[in-house]
Amino acid sequence: ILLFLDLTDQEAFQKLQFWINIIQTMTNIQTKTFVVGNKCDLLENRQLSFKQMQDFLSQQQNKYEYIETSAKNRTGIDELLQKLIDTCLSFGDGEDDEDIVKIDHEQK
């Protein structure tokens, strides 16, 4: 799950709390969730600090990975994409394959 918030908007923090409550209610505690703080390049307009976000997320029931990005100058974008790729590639490691049906096209 990806949750994005605008670091220049204090109201976005309250909305983040709402969505985290929904995620904790509706998903498994092991669901991988990334919180992405965007617009980290706008330092003069920033309303939410890195530490504030880290502290808030560390108090949550689920584990959240926090990454700051800037769509404008691509800060953190490659890191976010790499973490998403790594997460997707590791999905299913150690899982039972009993629900997988293998189809052999040559067999009749």
Report yes or no on 108 lying in a domain.
no
Q: What is the pLDDT of residues 30-42, one digit of tens each?
A: 778 999 999 999 9
Q: What is the domain range of residue 82?
A: 2-90
| Tally of domains within the chain | 1
Residue 103 lies in a domain: no
CATH number of the domain residue 77 falls in: 3.40.50.300
pLDDT digits (tens, 9 = 90+) for 57-108: 999 877 889 999 999 999 999 999 999 999 888 876 555 555 556 666 665 5
Of 5, 11, 20, 108, the residue nearest 64 (C-alpha): 20
Domain assignment present for residue 16? The answer is yes
- Encode 57-88: b = buried (16+ Cβ within 10 Å), e = exposed: beeeebebeebbbbeeeeebeeebeeeeeeee
Q: Which residues pair with 94 in a beta bridge?
A: none
Q: Does residue 43 fall inside a structural domain?
A: yes
Count of CA atoms in the C-beta half-sphere (13 A) of 11: 0
Report residue 34: phi and psi, to 5°: -110, 130
- The answer to whether residue 55 is domain-embedded is yes
What pTM does this model have? 0.78
